[in-house]
Every structure is written in C-alpha cells, then in structure tokens.
Chains A and B, each alone.
Chain A
Amino acid sequence: GNSVTQMEGPVTLSEEAFLTINCTYTATGYPSLFWYVQYPGEGLQLLLKATKADDKGSNKGFEATYRKETTSFHLEKGSVQVSDSAVYFCALLETGNQFYFGTGTSLTVIP
C-alpha cells in the first residue's frame, strides 16, 4: 500500500541554519510528491511538488528532489528564518485522488 514516513520532530534551529526534513515513501505505482506547510490555526498550504522521478520542486528557498531509487523526497532550505516556523507535511498522491500524509514535523526557528 501507500504510506509516507517523515522525520520525527520537533526540530529547533537558529535563524540562518540549514534545514533538512527527511521523507521517504512507499507506493504501489508512480506517485506525485508534495510538501505542505501548516501555520497555527490554519489549513495546509502547498509549499512545493514534484510529479515524476528526478523532478525538483522549489519555492521560497525550499527545495526537494524526487528520488525514485531511494524512495525519498527530503525537504531542504539553506537558511531558515523565524517566519518558517510551522508544521511541515510530506505527502504522496497516487491513483484514487487521495493524499497520504506523513505525521508532520514541527519546526521552530529561534532568532
């Protein structure tokens, strides 16, 4: 079946530090992969996506590359800001138009 495993949190970083949040997946076919971000009291906002192997999604300084050989889609940012503090969800979308989400990783960036 389909599933997503992401790095346990919470993660606390100093401003301008490098961020990596690991995400691996299991899928029966060829999924599309996503990172969503959730701020307190809000819904999910799409951060980036990749629809096929070797694609790189990027947005607002965040990047993730779809690695089929390692079934991974790790999120990275070179220099985090306080405003990046949020919960990050890795997700896959396959047939059936159903998202499978990871458990979420809470990020806190301190000045």
Chain B
Amino acid sequence: KAGVTQTPRYLIKTRGQQVTLSCSPISGHRSVSWYQQTPGQGLQFLFEYFSETQRNKGNFPGRFSGRQFSNSRSEMNVSTLELGDSALYLCASSLGGIANYGYTFGSGTRLTVV
C-alpha cells in the first residue's frame, strides 16, 4: 500500500513569505502529526490532528498552523517566514494515534528560507 506522501520535497522561500506543506496519510489512517527537524533543536512536535480536529499542539508560535481535511489529508502553514524556520518538516500518520497502531513517517519536506 502507498506510504505517507509529503509534497513538495523541497522548497525555497524568502523571509517574510508564507508556505503551505501537504501530507497525504496512508489510506484509512485518521491521525496525522507534524514534526520539525533541525540540526540545533532536533525533532520537535508541532501538532496532531485526528478526524479534522487538532488534538495536541507543541510549543511553537502562532505562525505555525495546520488543518486536516475530511479525507484525512493535512496541511501545515507557516506565515511570515524566518530564517530559523529552515528545517525538514516530517509528517506521520497513524490509524488511531496510539502506539499499538504504529506510526508511519513520510520522507519530509525540506524548507529553506533565504
């Protein structure tokens, strides 16, 4: 079966712009989580959506937002980009969002802010 698909794979944006990243989970998975990976901070949790509702949110500023659609696809948006937002953004999907169901990560979107 198809895995978790993240688009685009690479993105270059200018400081001050906004960006939208997309994640298509494995068919049937209803939970989608987002993580930011940077060399300095490692992997940090952004938020988790389940059945179109945000269930949990990490400690990121309000410039980072997300949503989930009825088909479970999710988008995250970053407004007013800063140089420090350059990172690999990973999404993970899960059937129900608990450990026994397992989580599958996508290959990520590499965002570079210049």
Q: Which residues of B contact A51 (CB under 8 A)?
A: 99-100
Residue A20 at the chain B interface, CB threshold 8 Å: no
Take A89-B43, A99-B43 as given contacts and tell me if A46 and B104 are in contact as well, using a CB distance cutoff of 8 Å.
yes
What residues make up the interface of B, taking CB atoms closer than 8 Å to A?
4, 6, 31, 33, 35, 42-43, 45, 48, 50, 55-56, 58, 90, 92, 94, 97-100, 102-108
Taking a contact as CB atoms under 8 Å apart, the answer to whether B105 and A101 are in contact is: no
Rounded to whole Å, the gap between the CB of A77 and the closest CB of chain B is 21
Q: Which residues of B contact A89 (CB under 8 A)?
A: 43
Taking chain A's interface residues, is the majority helix, strand, or loop, or is none over half, making it mixed?
strand
CA distance A71 to B24 in the complex (A): 35
17 sampled A-B residue pairs with Cβ under 8 A: A32-B99, A36-B105, A42-B108, A43-B108, A44-B105, A49-B99, A89-B43, A96-B48, A96-B56, A97-B97, A98-B48, A99-B43, A99-B45, A99-B92, A100-B45, A103-B42, A104-B43
